[in-house]
Structure 1
Amino acid sequence: MDTCFNRSTNTNLVKKTTVVSEEMTSQIRLRLLPSARCLFDEPVQVKVAGLRPWQVVTIRARSTDEKGVVFSSSATYRADGSGEVNLERDPSLIGSYIGVEPMGLLWSMRADTLHKLFSKNKVLNPYVVKFSVHELEGEGRMLAEATNERFLIGDGVSRAPVKEGSFHGVLFTPPGEGPFPAVLDVCTFMSEKRACLLANKGFVVLAMSLYNDKPDNIKEMHLDYFKEAVDFLQQQPKVGNKGVGIISRSKTGHIALSLAAFVPGVEAVVWINGCSANVAFPLYYKKRKILSPLLSDLSKVIPTESGVVIARYCVDNPLAEENQATLVPIEKAKGHFLFVASEDDLNWDSKAFMDQMVERLKRHGKENFESVCYPRAGHLLEPPYGPHCGSSFHWLARQLAMWGGEPRSHAAAEVHLWKKIQEFLRSHLSCEASRPTAKL
């Protein structure tokens, strides 16, 4: 099934018992509903009350990431006749975004300096956002403030570093007896955020990285390393026997495809903005080379006026005759695929690679796939409600690079995709006895 997602104007909020967090200046109240403490991927409703009828105010959000970089946003609103502002209902007049955007203050946050990626990988510490309301006139005196603590790890979820055989990673396990579906989250560089958030939803998730060494020191890749992780997951006492899911993005995409094609027990693969071929290094399995490397030519980067490059077309054409040995034989896979491509991905030509794989599977009579495209989203699709990053330092290209994405559309794509990923994995890895998901 092919799907092309376009942004909806509505945002659904989970209905819970209201808990109000507020700090008051006079009678003005800034409220975060249903609670000022929530999981990272949950929306909050921002409301201001006690203003003068039709008063115009600016609402700001501010956070400091794990590297000490400050991110902030602001939007100006006009109160209604009762002196209230409701971000679910009211449009921003000017600021970091315009229009009705209930979570706009979060996704529109930008660093004080250019080309910064928001760093949040320490899952045991909450992501803290300071909201505040300010007068529009004069020096913008603060009228009220509230703090939003956004947790990555829910109650009862366990985190355990793993070093088993030749691989190492971090295992996240939900509360309860299970059995739970199992997912291997393969990251280019180690990140625990997505794995931890998936564990909150009732998955046993092992996070591991593609690079445990500097890329310059790597000459070849071995699929056996990742198969060990698959085997380890299947042996976990709380895991059901349905098989393992793989989630990947960018450079790890071809590893996920190769696991599905060559390793038994891989039932579901989420491929996000990657390539259809094995990139950069020869891939070995059981001491035999199974895929040649598809090479890149960094002289093909497109410079921009700001000095940031676009690397979208640097990878060689995998369909060229001389590159046939680099293509992953995904038609051999017994599991299911969810292909996800951002049309404004400026790092890979992901939509073209996705179309190649869809055509290949159809040519082989396969129907074991879904595909979703996001017309104005960029490369860095993440779990929702983090600051959008359009450009930052590219650790492999060793220069500032454009990732792409119109912020509003990219943020909406992340909300849609996060739900889609969970539905897809649960559908193909279902465990009837799995328990409810973790909450705060």
Structure 2
Amino acid sequence: MTAFFFFSNGTAAGREEMSAQVRLRLLPSARCLFDEPIQVKVAGLRSKQVVTMRARSTDDKGVVFSSMATYRADGNGEINLERDPSLSGSFVGVEPMGLLWSMTADTLHKRFQKTNTLNPHVVKFSVHEEEGEMLAEVTNERFLIKEGISRAPVKEGNLRGVLFTPPGKGPFPAVLDLYTFGGGLSEKRASLLASRGFLVLTVSLYGHDDQPKNIKEIHLDYFEEAINFLRKQEKVGSKGVGIISLSKSGDLALSAASFLPNVEAVVWINGCSANVILPLYYKKKLILPALMFDPKKRIPTESGAIISKYAMHSPLEEENKATLVPIERAKGRFLFVASEDDLNWDSKAYMDEMVERLKHHGKDNFETLSYPGAGHYLEPPYGPYCPSSFHGVAGKPVLWGGEPTTHAAAEVHLWKKIQEFFRTHVSCDTAQAKAKL
């Protein structure tokens, strides 16, 4: 389905020169999944006419995000964002999805929040005369959950989360999504992974539903409970599960792979190689003390946000080595992903340390991806790039790093790699699923 919206050119000269009206089209459809690219085309302009294109959206917290770019039509009065460069604005050059990822918040230090996966991310694209008058507008509905996917809240034992199950008999590979360490629950990445054929459980560690708002320690038993819950699902064909993480949850994913059975594959994105901030317990016994940070080493900036990259103590110092997660014990595979411009902490150094340690132990159960110019928050593609936002542990806004264009390209590349990695390394046995049925 192609959406067409028509507005007249608006000037007497324009009406005389053009028999057609200005048309703004989103191909192949104005309705798509959040992680799908679209082709943006404009027709019916004057030859070589310069116009401004805009995108605007409001997130689930009511924050308005917008972008703009200037384009010059070709000799036929047409613009194609896959072919034509932006001359100025939120980005420059040929960036087919630039109007989406370059959207910035109208309030400083706000991250795009999409908490309700059942409602689409609605973006209004528009074309304007240089003087500002609107020539055409179209609405893009970007869905976070594919039709037919089941979304079920989970409240079983200590577990608090949401389970996403694809339609059909399966079997499907199982993935545990530890989105990040922030309180509450994030469903966006989990619902999109389910839309790509994975059975996904996303869990909250604290701050959701009836969970405590603050915690002083973490218990690995919670993640063991989550893994066992996933493996019991009727449509799961995998003997074990995959785990995807980001930031602080990276070391939790490493710990799950190192201390618990049935973890076949871990995607570690911009995490640490040591257990950070809170001590980790298993069966009521301390298994990893916490690596801490020095608040005095945080760097203030004019925007009011801090750079925290240099504040963490080194896990390689003799007094901190006990905090290192013993990943050499893990039987599953790792995909380590590091952004080289991460300003939250030195993800690249942590990744390099883990690679050296695994090699030292004769292990080759890992793959690495390194993204120069990308920042801390690597998410599913085509959402607004986040330069800074409030950090719960720091208690103030932090800079996440990254150059927007490069960061957006990294998200597109990584999203495909994550799916390939899990499809390859999370076993999917039809007989296994039938036995459960």
Query: What TM-score range do you get, normalising by the shorter chain?
Result: over 0.9
Equivalent-residue separation in structure 2 for 1:235 and 1:430 (angstroms): 15
Matched, 1:186 2:183: no
Contact residue 215 and residue 396 of structure 1 kept, 8 A: no
Q: How does 1:187-336 map to 2 (within 5 A)?
A: 187=179, 188-189=181-182, 190-212=185-207, 217-336=214-333
Question: 2:60 maps to what in 1?
Answer: 66
Contact residue 172 and residue 238 of structure 2 kept, 8 A: no
Structure 1 residue identity aligned to 2:167: P
Q: How does 1:92-131 map to 2 (within 5 A)?
A: 92-131=86-125
Question: 1:403 maps to what in 2?
Answer: 400
Question: Is there any run of 5+ residues in structure 1 with no aligned partner, and where?
Answer: 1-18, 435-440
Question: Is there any run of 5+ residues in structure 2 with no aligned partner, and where?
Answer: 9-20, 432-437
Could you tell me how far 1:211 is from its partner in structure 2? Answer: 2.8
Equivalent-residue separation in structure 2 for 1:257 and 1:167 (angstroms): 20
Could you tell me how far 1:113 is from its partner in structure 2? Answer: 2.0
| Cα distance per residue 1:200-252 (max 9 Å; x no partner) | 01100000123337998322111001100000000000001331000000011
Q: Structure 1 residue aligned with 2:149, among 141, 154, 157?
A: 157
Equivalent-residue separation in structure 2 for 1:295 and 1:385 (angstroms): 34
| Cα distance per residue 1:297-354 (max 9 Å; x no partner) | 2121011122211001111100110111101000000000000000110001100000
Secondary structure (helix, strand or coil) at the match of 2:152 reads strand
Equivalent-residue separation in structure 1 for 2:260 and 2:267 (angstroms): 16
Q: TM-score, normalised by structure 1?
A: 0.92
Contact residue 56 and residue 123 of structure 2 kept, 8 A: yes
Equivalent-residue separation in structure 1 for 2:112 and 2:251 (angstroms): 26
Question: 1:177 maps to what in 2?
Answer: 169
Structure 2 residue identity aligned to 1:107: W
Structure 2 residue identity aligned to 1:289: L
| Cα distance per residue 1:49-91 (max 9 Å; x no partner) | 0111111111100001111111100111110111100000000
Question: 1:40 maps to what in 2?
Answer: 34
Contact residue 341 and residue 374 of structure 1 kept, 8 A: yes
Runs of 4+, deviation exceeding 4 Å: 213-216
Equivalent-residue separation in structure 2 for 1:79 and 1:249 (angstroms): 41
Secondary structure (helix, strand or coil) at the match of 1:133 reads strand
Equivalent-residue separation in structure 1 for 2:119 and 2:227 (angstroms): 28
Q: TM-score, normalised by structure 2?
A: 0.93
Secondary structure (helix, strand or coil) at the match of 1:318 reads coil
Structure 1 range deviating more: 110-119 or 59-68: 110-119
Matched, 1:353 2:350: yes
Equivalent-residue separation in structure 1 for 2:328 and 2:234 (angstroms): 32
Equivalent-residue separation in structure 2 for 1:22 and 1:77 (angstroms): 20
Contact residue 238 and residue 427 of structure 2 kept, 8 A: no
Contact residue 255 and residue 327 of structure 2 kept, 8 A: yes
CA RMSD, 1 decimal: 1.4
Structure 1 range deviating more: 80-89 or 183-192: 183-192
Query: Number of paired residues?
Result: 414
Matched, 1:337 2:334: yes
Equivalent-residue separation in structure 1 for 2:303 and 2:219 (angstroms): 39
Matched, 1:376 2:370: no
Equivalent-residue separation in structure 1 for 2:4 and 2:334 (angstroms): 45
Question: 1:141 maps to what in 2?
Answer: 133
Q: Which has the higher contact order (CA 8 A, sep 6+)?
A: 1
Equivalent-residue separation in structure 1 for 2:233 and 2:227 (angstroms): 10
Equivalent-residue separation in structure 1 for 2:407 and 2:373 (angstroms): 6
Equivalent-residue separation in structure 2 for 1:34 and 1:198 (angstroms): 22
Question: 1:14 maps to what in 2?
Answer: none
Question: 1:10 maps to what in 2?
Answer: none
Could you tell me how far 1:198 is from its partner in structure 2? Answer: 0.2
Question: 1:8 maps to what in 2?
Answer: none
Could you tell me how far 1:411 is from its partner in structure 2? Answer: 0.2
Contact residue 28 and residue 49 of structure 1 kept, 8 A: yes
| Cα distance per residue 1:88-139 (max 9 Å; x no partner) | 0000011110000000000000111221111112100000000000001x3x
Secondary structure (helix, strand or coil) at the match of 2:355 reads helix
Equivalent-residue separation in structure 1 for 2:215 and 2:333 (angstroms): 30
Structure 1 residue identity aligned to 2:314: N
Equivalent-residue separation in structure 2 for 1:254 and 1:231 (angstroms): 20
Contact residue 177 and residue 243 of structure 2 kept, 8 A: yes
Could you tell me how far 1:167 is from its partner in structure 2? Answer: 1.5
Equivalent-residue separation in structure 2 for 1:430 and 1:235 (angstroms): 15
Matched, 1:168 2:160: yes
Matched, 1:20 2:2: yes
Question: 2:13 maps to what in 1?
Answer: none
Question: 1:3 maps to what in 2?
Answer: none
Contact residue 389 and residue 399 of structure 2 kept, 8 A: yes
Contact residue 240 and residue 427 of structure 2 kept, 8 A: no
Equivalent-residue separation in structure 1 for 2:115 and 2:61 (angstroms): 11
Contact residue 238 and residue 429 of structure 2 kept, 8 A: no
Matched, 1:49 2:43: yes
Equivalent-residue separation in structure 1 for 2:224 and 2:29 (angstroms): 42
Contact residue 206 and residue 214 of structure 2 kept, 8 A: no
Contact residue 210 and residue 252 of structure 1 kept, 8 A: no
Contact residue 253 and residue 275 of structure 1 kept, 8 A: yes
